[in-house]
Amino acid sequence: MEMQLFAYKCTKSIWKDVICQLLVKEKHSQIFVIKIVLLLKFEDIIMLRLFRQIALWEAISTILLFFFAMPLKYFADIPEAVRIAGSIHGFLVVIFVIMLIVCTVEYKWSVMKALKYFVVSLIPIASFWVELDLKKEIAKNAKGVA
């Protein structure tokens, strides 16, 4: 249990050093080292899953903003709907861009891939495409874990 708590406090580069030390000292079994490697791989998948969820929620917030909040503002004279939905959508867009930068650096994505995701995020509802593309990438990365 202590090792798992330690895992969440460490960075991946520190974990690589820990794995190397364990292999050199041979104090722990190979199964333990394999578990650490799998944990690192699952952390990679978790990062992609988080980005995928953010892309999904950003797309949903766009739908809510355009198809519910804006009609409420203009047809029912309820401007608070746009203020609330717009704030939520704006927050999710900022988080989307931050996660895009983090994932681009973490997974060494090409500049073209990052730009493609960014441009697509500017098109209303197109973040669903990003979510589907990330789903494929998660499936591809998960095959390496299994």
Q: Which of 12, 37, 10, 9 is nearest to 23 (CA)?
A: 37
Closest CA to 69 of 80, 58, 57, 54: 80
pLDDT for position 45: 72
- The alpha carbon of residue 143 and the mean position of all alpha carbons in its chain are separated, in whole angstroms, by 18
Lowest pLDDT segment from 41-55, 81-95, 106-120: 41-55
What is the pTM for the complete model shown? 0.66
Asked whether residue 96 is assigned to any structural domain, the reply reads yes
Q: What is d(CA 95, CA 111) in angstroms, rounded to the nearest whole number? A: 19
Mean pLDDT, the chain, as a whole number? 76
What is the reported pLDDT for 3? 46
Residue 105 — pLDDT band, cuts 50, 70, 90?
Answer: confident
In a domain, 81, yes or no: yes
Number of domains making up the chain:
1
Helix intervals (H) in 1-146: 2-9, 12-25, 30-64, 70-75, 80-106, 111-122, 127-145
Average pLDDT over residues 38-56: 73
Q: In which domain, by residue range, is 71 found?
A: 43-145
Q: Is 47 part of a structural domain of the chain?
A: yes
**How many residues belong to the chain?**
146
In a domain, 38, yes or no: no
Task: Classify 94 in phi/psi space as left (phi over 0), alpha (psi -120 to 50) or beta.
Answer: alpha
For 12-40, what is each residue's pLDDT tens digit? 555 455 555 555 555 455 555 455 555 55
pLDDT tens across 72-81, in order? 999 999 999 9
